[in-house]
Structure 1
Amino acid sequence: MNSLILAIIGIAMMAAGYILYSKFLAKRVYKLNAEFKTPAHEFNDGVDYVPTNRYILWGHHFTSVAGAAPIVGPAVAVIWGWLPAFLWVTIGTIFIAGMHDLGALWASQRNKGQSIGTLSGRYIGPRGRNLFLVVVFLLLLMVVCAFGVVISDLLVSQPGAVIPVWGALVVALLVGQAIYRLRMNLLLVTALGVGALYGLIILGNAYPITLPDEFLGLNPNGQWIVLLFIYAGIASLLPVWVLLQPRDYINGIQLFVGLGILYGAVLIATPTIVAPAFNENVPEGTPSIVPLLFVTIACGAISGFHGTVATGTTSKQLDRETDAKFVGYFGAVGEGLLALGAIIATTAGFQTLADWEEIYHEFQAGGVPAFVEGGGAIVNTGLGIPTGLSATILATMAVLFAATTMDTGVRLMRFVVQEIGEMAKVRINIWAATVVAVVIAAGLTFSQGADGSGGMLIWPLFGTTNQLLAALTMGIITVMLIRKSRPILPVLIPMAFVLVMSLYAALVQVFGFYEDGEWLLFTLNVIILVAGSWVLVESIIAMLAARKAEKEPDDAELLTADQKLPLD
């Protein structure tokens, strides 16, 4: 199979999804209204609520939800063969991820920018909200801790990425000042910012940086993790326009340039996919493709983490409600393209099937290293870029996206801590909430030793927890649509599929953890299963009640004067 054919089919499918299906969702299901006064305008505080250009906001949303997950998931899942991974990424992006992200944004817009946890309280009930927050907090904890480990591993293994990764923060700060203080032309600022970032990549490749073998009892991995947690805590406290928005925007453009390089190399080199379409010779110990495929590839097909970002930060920055289609649905398409690139890099980036099987000798053996190695080889062959520089480009891309997700995750954890405080009638300011979030995450990360290996301790729960959260988020959206007499099948059918697969996978994992004596994972998985099942029951009750209740006015068409956005 020629990888170019796979790339063309995948890109065409996702483009058609954005052009056709997102239009249907925006007009018929969610009925987006350009006149609706968004929370960013209603509560503009210059910190979290900031009306933002849709291209900049797309960059924030896309890079925050992407991270390393759309690389890691597909780069692991191809062990079952490239075709199942390809189908799940493309179909999932078009009919589930785009709908989910757009719907979460719409739901939050229509509820003053409230988070998905708060929305669960309104539409499902207080019990559902409490349990929902448990699932959300555990998911964010997994993301923040694991991504800290992933980034530190990459910075150690790819020292050429150090300068561009940390230099990107300076570039982002300057971009933020240029856009918001100096009011410079966005296109010019974008060109200068991306140019500076790629200049840093070349500089970093020429001057790799390594940390000392030991400092204060920490090896290089532990040292990077400490620095990353300090950075994430500070970044989560800054106003979004200072660092969060410009950094994510420049990173988003950088990713598309990076994807352009990868896909351009595929176009020129047309490498052959050496991995089988269906792998009938999987290594011993590899779990069944059903249901594990559907939780191994989360980001890139459907991810509950997207709902926490969409309702936690993105919804507070939306300038016009109609921007949600571009920011939400196209953000999911961007992540799908990254996942497709990961599939191609990890199946066509090796010379022979034997070379591929050497990498995929056991389940979970692929991941980011396979993406960097395979993608670097394709870029080297297609564009003649030296293998070392190619690897630096791809490693920098992976680290920058993981870092954006990590500090967005800390900001979201801060929101959840404050929401929990509100439930307990205790007011927690943003400084205290941030400290609580960072201390808990750092404590778990270093719980197994000074190398930070504890950060991956509960990561095996991510896939099932993430997909379960996505299903529950779609449940909330369904309740809202029923109350407004809107079409529900575009949401209800994907919700049912994702729910069945995530619960099935969670049950498989529970028995596996029990047999292996993994008691921490077993206990947490049981808690997540009970909480998720309880929220599901509450959601079904809420759906049935919504069908019988008096319908809400269609607020997409009936807006009072104070709900309308002032004319420019």
Structure 2
Amino acid sequence: MVSFLVCLALLIAGYFVYGKVVDSTFGPDDRETPAVRINDGVDYVVMPQWKLFLVQLLNIAGLGPIFGALSGSLWGPSVFLWITFGTIFAGGVHDYFAGMLSERNDGASVSEITGIYLGGGMKNVMRVFSVVLLIMVGTVFAVGPAGLLQLLCKNAGGILANKMFWLILILIYYFIATFISVDKVIGKIYPVFGICLIIMAVGVAFGVLTNSNYVIPELWDHLYNMHPSGTPIWSFMFITVACGAISGFHATQSPLMARCMKSERQGHMVFYGAMISEGIIALIWAAAGCSIYTGAELLGMGAGGPTAVYDICQKTMGSAGMVLAMLGVIACPITSGDTAFRSARLTLADWFKIDQKNYANRLKLCVPVLGAGAILGIGNALGKIDYNVIWRYFSWSNQTLAMIVLWAASMYLFQQKKNYWITAVPATFMSAVSCTYFILGEECLGQLLNKHEVVDGARKLVAYNTALAYPVGIVFAAALLGIFLYATRKQTAKA
């Protein structure tokens, strides 16, 4: 329990100390913001700071800090370190610069920001990459809560116990939230969902800390790989936890609130603060996973799936508290799924220069974006598409996008003659993580490079090719850092 409480204290201190360092490095000022200057009544709308923070938190706190953190607990309490230091020095920095660079560039989407600082080629790559990622995120955050609602209503029977019913209902809501003004649905209902989210986090934490049957393992006694399948910590844990420490998905969400800020000085609380809050949520769920189950038990329940979430809520809060907590867990992904599809619409609008004031123009983008999400979601509900495969692609895409955004932020800081190492260091780290996983992941190159054997007619993984992946990941990260430093020197020479 002590190591959990220390990590919790570090996260809170990180907001006030390192978060202030990041904010001071960027240097917010009193210039007129896009929300004030453009204010189109659809996507550019001034909202109060408390609402900006709450909407940002719910935008980014989808299934990641819950399902991802639970899956991360398979490796034991070492996941606490990644959640804590990843959030403070990588995730918070990433989210802050993603939001503030968007704010400085008229609320531009992440692909356009990347193009400004890393060039047109990277902009086009990011346009495609981010739209695909957002559709996958929207799908994951539709399928997940549909499964939870099905579990919650299983005793009711009939249509309420049908996953397809909930999935279609969620997709209809997503269409409405994607189409209409940001303050009409998202700005009004998120505070209610926020209350559910807070109750859920506090309830689970209180239930774990006060029940003598649950003991949160200490870091110093379990600082080794505890995964029951022997899956390597590097880089699988860093990819699996994703949103609970750092996530490129957040960079697609931050422009939504960058278009609604009245002052740049709100960025510390809205962007860095929301990420710290998400880190705290992830830490709580990781602690719950480590204390309530053995790794084998959690793996048998589908690790971070709906069954484990349902069971934890019931064990920590009982039936009454469990219902409230489940609503929070359901609201969490839904309030990320709707903004994922909304971000996809805005990314396409920025890409093709389509004015979004016009209803017909918004409809032209909403239909194909939601249509693609519906195909993937219904495919999963019918058993044609594996949810876990979508989640793994989403997780790797997350961290790759985060890597790119951090490099873009590093170039911005260099151009502004500011300390670019606060972004270049996590960018280098995430480059190694992303490359290493791409070699080891079974959905990536792992099918070709890992050791497999045929058992009972099926091809099964025997061992990961870490001897190749680890050095290649390090060399790749070092090469990107070298390219960045070369580019900075080249620009300095031209000046």
3-state SS of 2:159 partner: coil
**Pair 1:329–1:448, CA change in 2 (3 A):** closer
Measured against aligned partners, the alpha-carbon deviations of 1:214-256 in whole angstroms (never above 9, x if no partner) come to xxxxx81122212211110111112111111222233223322
Q: Unaligned regions of 5+ residues in structure 1, if any?
A: 161-207, 214-218, 380-386, 519-528, 551-568
Measured against aligned partners, the alpha-carbon deviations of 1:357-377 in whole angstroms (never above 9, x if no partner) come to 323348x53444323323432
Amino acid at match of 2:70: A
Contact kept in structure 2, 1:104 and 1:310, CA below 8 Å: yes
Query: How far apart in 1 are the matches of 2:112 and 2:156?
Result: 44
Larger deviation, residues 239-248 vs 463-472: 239-248
- Report the alpha carbon displacement of residue 158 of structure 1 after superposing the two structures with TM: 1.1
For 1:185-224, list aligned pairs within 5 A: 209-212=156-159, 220-224=162-166
Measured against aligned partners, the alpha-carbon deviations of 1:300-352 in whole angstroms (never above 9, x if no partner) come to 100101111012x11101111010000011100110011011012112235xx
Contact kept in structure 2, 1:59 and 1:251, CA below 8 Å: no
Amino acid at match of 1:221: K
**Pair 1:209–1:407, CA change in 2 (3 A):** farther
Query: How far apart in 2 are the matches of 1:472 and 1:257?
Result: 35
**Pair 1:390–1:543, CA change in 2 (3 A):** farther
Query: How far apart in 2 are the matches of 1:260 and 1:330?
Result: 18
Provide the residue aligned with 2:408 in structure 1: 476
For 1:402-481, list aligned pairs within 5 A: 402-422=333-353, 429-447=361-379, 450=382, 453=385, 457-481=389-413
Contact kept in structure 2, 1:273 and 1:344, CA below 8 Å: yes
3-state SS of 1:241 partner: coil
Provide the residue aligned with 2:90 in structure 1: 96
Which of 263, 268, 277 is the equivalent residue of 2:222? 277
Provide the residue aligned with 2:194 in structure 1: 252
Measured against aligned partners, the alpha-carbon deviations of 1:175-227 in whole angstroms (never above 9, x if no partner) come to xxxxxxxxxxxxxxxxxxxxxxxxxxxxxxxxx755438xxxxx811222122
**Pair 1:134–1:107, CA change in 2 (3 A):** same
Larger deviation, residues 507-516 vs 331-340: 507-516
Query: How far apart in 2 are the matches of 1:22 and 1:345?
Result: 27
Query: How far apart in 2 are the matches of 1:268 and 1:322?
Result: 39
Query: How far apart in 2 are the matches of 1:452 and 1:232?
Result: 22
Query: How far apart in 2 are the matches of 1:495 and 1:243?
Result: 35
Contact kept in structure 2, 1:48 and 1:240, CA below 8 Å: yes
Query: How far apart in 2 are the matches of 1:290 and 1:133?
Result: 29
Provide the residue aligned with 1:15 in structure 2: 12
- Report the alpha carbon displacement of residue 535 of structure 1 after superposing the two structures with TM: 10
**Pair 1:539–1:222, CA change in 2 (3 A):** farther
3-state SS of 1:419 partner: helix
Query: How far apart in 1 are the matches of 2:203 and 2:92?
Result: 25
3-state SS of 1:150 partner: helix
Residue 359 (str. 1) matches residue 298 (str. 2): yes
Query: How far apart in 1 are the matches of 2:69 and 2:135?
Result: 22
Provide the residue aligned with 1:49 in structure 2: 44
Amino acid at match of 2:28: L
Larger deviation, residues 258-267 vs 84-93: 258-267
Provide the residue aligned with 2:465 in structure 1: none
Query: How far apart in 2 are the matches of 1:137 and 1:397?
Result: 27
For 1:139-158, list aligned pairs within 5 A: 139-158=133-152
TM-score between the two structures when normalised by the length of structure 2:
0.86
Amino acid at match of 1:18: Y
Contact kept in structure 1, 2:208 and 2:316, CA below 8 Å: yes
Query: How far apart in 2 are the matches of 1:498 and 1:280?
Result: 20
Residue 346 (str. 1) matches residue 289 (str. 2): yes
Measured against aligned partners, the alpha-carbon deviations of 1:144-173 in whole angstroms (never above 9, x if no partner) come to 11121111110111128xxxxxxxxxxxxx
Query: How far apart in 2 are the matches of 1:429 and 1:268?
Result: 54
Residue 511 (str. 1) matches residue 445 (str. 2): yes
Amino acid at match of 1:80: W
Residue 297 (str. 1) matches residue 235 (str. 2): no
Contact kept in structure 2, 1:262 and 1:378, CA below 8 Å: yes
Amino acid at match of 1:39: P
Residue 496 (str. 1) matches residue 428 (str. 2): yes
Contact kept in structure 1, 2:70 and 2:304, CA below 8 Å: yes
Contact kept in structure 1, 2:4 and 2:80, CA below 8 Å: no
Contact kept in structure 1, 2:68 and 2:242, CA below 8 Å: yes
Residue 401 (str. 1) matches residue 332 (str. 2): yes
Larger deviation, residues 246-255 vs 496-505: 246-255
Contact kept in structure 2, 1:472 and 1:535, CA below 8 Å: no
Provide the residue aligned with 1:560 in structure 2: none
3-state SS of 2:264 partner: coil
For 1:297-376, list aligned pairs within 5 A: 297-311=241-255, 313-350=256-293, 353=294, 357-361=296-300, 365-376=303-314
Query: How far apart in 2 are the matches of 1:376 and 1:93?
Result: 28
Query: How far apart in 1 are the matches of 2:384 and 2:143?
Result: 7
Identity of aligned residues (%): 25
For 1:161-176, list aligned pairs within 5 A: none
RMSD: 2.9
Measured against aligned partners, the alpha-carbon deviations of 1:254-297 in whole angstroms (never above 9, x if no partner) come to 3223322333334433631369835656434x421111111111
Measured against aligned partners, the alpha-carbon deviations of 1:33-78 in whole angstroms (never above 9, x if no partner) come to 1x11111111111211111111101010000101111111110111
Provide the residue aligned with 2:110 in structure 1: 116
Measured against aligned partners, the alpha-carbon deviations of 1:389-434 in whole angstroms (never above 9, x if no partner) come to 23322221111011001100110111223234349xxx98111101
Query: How far apart in 2 are the matches of 1:115 and 1:505?
Result: 27
Measured against aligned partners, the alpha-carbon deviations of 1:62-108 in whole angstroms (never above 9, x if no partner) come to 001011111111101111112x2100000011111111111111111
3-state SS of 1:235 partner: helix
3-state SS of 2:145 partner: helix
Contact kept in structure 1, 2:196 and 2:328, CA below 8 Å: yes
Provide the residue aligned with 2:65 in structure 1: 70
**Pair 1:388–1:493, CA change in 2 (3 A):** same
**Pair 1:394–1:542, CA change in 2 (3 A):** farther
Contact kept in structure 2, 1:145 and 1:445, CA below 8 Å: yes
Residue 26 (str. 1) matches residue 27 (str. 2): no
- Report the alpha carbon displacement of residue 465 of structure 1 after superposing the two structures with TM: 1.0
Contact kept in structure 2, 1:221 and 1:451, CA below 8 Å: no
Query: How far apart in 1 are the matches of 2:380 and 2:325?
Result: 30
3-state SS of 2:243 partner: coil
Query: How far apart in 2 are the matches of 1:292 and 1:396?
Result: 29
Contact kept in structure 1, 2:197 and 2:331, CA below 8 Å: no
Query: How far apart in 1 are the matches of 2:423 and 2:445?
Result: 31
Amino acid at match of 2:260: Q
Which of 40, 54, 64 is the equivalent residue of 2:35? 40
